[in-house]
Amino acid sequence: MNQIIPSSLFALTLLSSLSSPSLTHAQCHFPAIFNFGDSNSDTGGLSAAFGQAGPPHGSSFFGSPAGRYCDGRLVIDFIAESLGLPYLSAFLDSVGSNFSHGANFATAGSPIRALNTTLRQSGFSPFSLDVQFTQFYNFHNRSQTVRSHGGIYTTILPEADSFSQALYTFDIGQNDLTAAYFANKTVEQVETEVPEIISQFRNAIKNVYGQGGRYFWIHNTGPIGCLAYVIEWFPIKASDFDSHGCVTPLNNLAQRFNYALKQAVIELRASLSEAVISYLDVYSIKHELFLHAQGHGFKRSLVSCCGHGGKYNYKKGIGCGKKIIVKGKEIYIGKPCDEPDKAVVWDGVHFTQAANKFIFDKIAPGLNMACHRQ
């Protein structure tokens, strides 16, 4: 079970949990990033497939919608910046994309395990992790065939060596827990499905390894019991809420998932002899931010920056950027809070750019170790 640790100890704990290299190890250099995940790291995949995430998404940094369900940059954007790489283009986005430094296969709403529903039925993406791997597999092979044609293809597609030298990032699993919960399963029932979900995640890592991937950067899942879109589904029972307003049983579920994920990482480290696998405890960082938001310079923790109505400025079906009819008048839910940089949650589901930067700053030291095997 993950323990919540003080913010001042995050960096030390993360570094020691990643590996224990000597201080003389050379700084890692990754020529590319290949990312797999959900909305926490989607830089335009779902927007390309099903329609752009409209304004005010992107308003704090990009100045307009940029395919992200956020007011600005995501953790994966800050990772790319820190490695001196361009922001990742979504694999599904054919307009203006440059894949010379990697590709992003993540889409908002993606689970690890495929769901037997459509996006319109459930709100979850059909691009599950196995589909994302298939896309990567095809991209790996076809990109080299096309690149051999020369010309512009040599500037927009990765070199062959990039695939073995790249950082492979994963941030996925949250939707597996919430999808099962939203299907009216109990927390206990969802927990019984975790082993199968983790098994499929483990297979994905092995498949990428089989394609030459050697450096893996894996985020665990966050405290779903602190997000408005999940809290709104939970039956109101005062004893299930902690003193900060988060739903304890749901956070416990996330931590059980994370425990299983960490055990899988330990097994993968033992079985994949050439792999360097970094496990990042982002749950603890996000939980710390929810619990002590003001101490970290934030004014809003559980309440959404962009939304409409309810205790958390969030209502299902009336998300940020939507239009609704109130008393015969059309209202656009597009005005974010006055200080997005002081809010933890952007829209009841996703984090703000400021929160993403906070998270990145805590895990950033691990990037210097992500190429060194224990």
- How much is the pLDDT for 325? 78
3-state secondary structure of 190: helix
* Residue 149 is among the residues annotated as catalytic for this protein: no
Do you know the residue count of the chain?
374
User: For residues 306 and 321, is the Cβ–Cβ distance under 8 A?
Assistant: yes
Cα 254 to the chain's mean position, in Å?
A: 14
Of 348, 365, 340, nearest to 308 by C-alpha is: 348
DSSP label of 222: -
* Residue 244 is among the residues annotated as catalytic for this protein: no
Could you say which of 39, 125, 143, 284 is catalytic? Answer: 39
- How much is the pLDDT for 24? 56
CA dihedral 226, 191, 10, 7 (to 10 degrees): 30
Structural domains of the chain ordered from first start: 7-368 (3.40.50.1110)
Round the CA-based radius of gyration of the chain to a whole number and report it: 20
Could you say which of 101, 287, 308, 350 is catalytic? Answer: 350
* Residue 347 is among the residues annotated as catalytic for this protein: yes
Lookup: tokens for 329? 């008048």
Lookup: tokens for 163? 């695939």
- How much is the pLDDT for 284? 98
DSSP tally for the chain: helices H, then strands E: 13, 7
Longest dimension (CA), the chain: 67
User: For residues 181 and 187, is the Cβ–Cβ distance under 8 A?
Assistant: yes
Full pLDDT tens readout for the chain, 374 residues: 444 333 333 433 444 344 444 445 688 999 999 999 999 999 999 999 999 999 999 999 999 999 999 999 999 999 999 999 999 999 999 999 999 999 999 999 999 999 988 787 778 999 999 999 999 999 999 999 999 999 999 999 999 999 999 999 999 999 999 999 999 999 999 999 999 999 999 999 999 999 999 999 999 999 999 999 999 888 878 899 999 999 999 999 999 999 999 999 999 999 999 999 999 999 999 999 999 999 999 999 999 999 988 899 998 878 898 887 777 887 788 889 999 999 999 999 999 999 999 999 999 999 999 999 86
Could you say which of 38, 42, 176, 347 is catalytic? Answer: 347
